[in-house]
Structure 1
Amino acid sequence: MKVSFTAPLWEWDARAAWYFVTVPAEQSDDVRDRPRMPRGFGAVKVRATVGGSTWDTSVFPDSSAGSYILPVKKAVREAEGIGEGDPVEVRLQLLEL
């Protein structure tokens, strides 16, 4: 399963230098509804692509928003020239079934 979306990059208040993109509600519902083995913290393994950067990671449920969040590592932010508040075009491929 693949999902695509654009959302702003944001920094986590609780931990400086950790950046995320929130998966919109509709795409989060698609991720949530896909059958898979349970994992710690409700994480879902994905292959993320932003621009020319692709990496394997997990999306995590954000109970306050009811959506998933995607961590965006420093190497990707630097390679793609994105900073806090910038719109980020994301493609996610779910790796778990």
Structure 2
Amino acid sequence: MAGDPVLFNAAIIEWRGPAPFLFAAIPDDLVAEIRYAALSESYGWGVVPVVATVGTTEFATSLFPRDGGYLLPVKVAVQRAEGVGVGDRIDVHMRIGRAKRQ
């Protein structure tokens, strides 16, 4: 799964954790695959590096483990560029792994 595209739709939620405070929960049916890919891709503390695209905005971030699943941080720059906020549903195209160096 590492490097393979992962597609899902999720609602943006607020969680009082590290900034940016807005996240999309990874659907339960993808969690086991992500956990497996994380064995080779994670750089510790359970966080999993990903490159995600919401709308036309691509960004690098890390999935946060939460309650047996994962949360995708929706950065402020993504929120502004795509005009999304709490309660909105977003389509996410995601690749597990670090961003390619250019």
Does TM, normalized by the shorter one, top 0.5? yes
What is the aligned-residue identity percentage? 38
Q: Please identify runs of 4+ aligned residues in structure 1 that moved more than 4 A.
A: 14-17
Are 1:45 and 2:43 counterparts? no
Distance between the aligned counterparts of 1:60 and 1:2, measured in 2?
18
Q: How many residues align?
A: 94
User: 2:17 & 2:96 partners in 1: Cα distance?
Assistant: 27
- Matching residue's letter, 2:84: I
- With normalisation by structure 1, the TM-score equals 0.86
Q: How far apart are residue 13 of structure 1 and its match?
A: 3.4
Moved more, 86-95 or 38-47: 38-47
Give the secondary structure class of the aligned counterpart of 1:85: coil
Residue aligning to 2:76: 74
Task: Quote the offset at 1:38 in angstroms.
Answer: 4.5
2:60 equivalent to 1:56: yes
Task: Please list every run of 5 or more consecutive structure 1 residues that lacks an aligned counterpart in the other structure.
Answer: none
Q: What RMSD, in angstroms, separates the aligned Cα atoms of the two structures?
A: 1.8
Q: Normalising by structure 2, report the TM-score.
A: 0.82
Choose 20-29 or 37-46, whichever is displaced more: 37-46
1:94 alignment partner, one of 88, 93, 96: 96
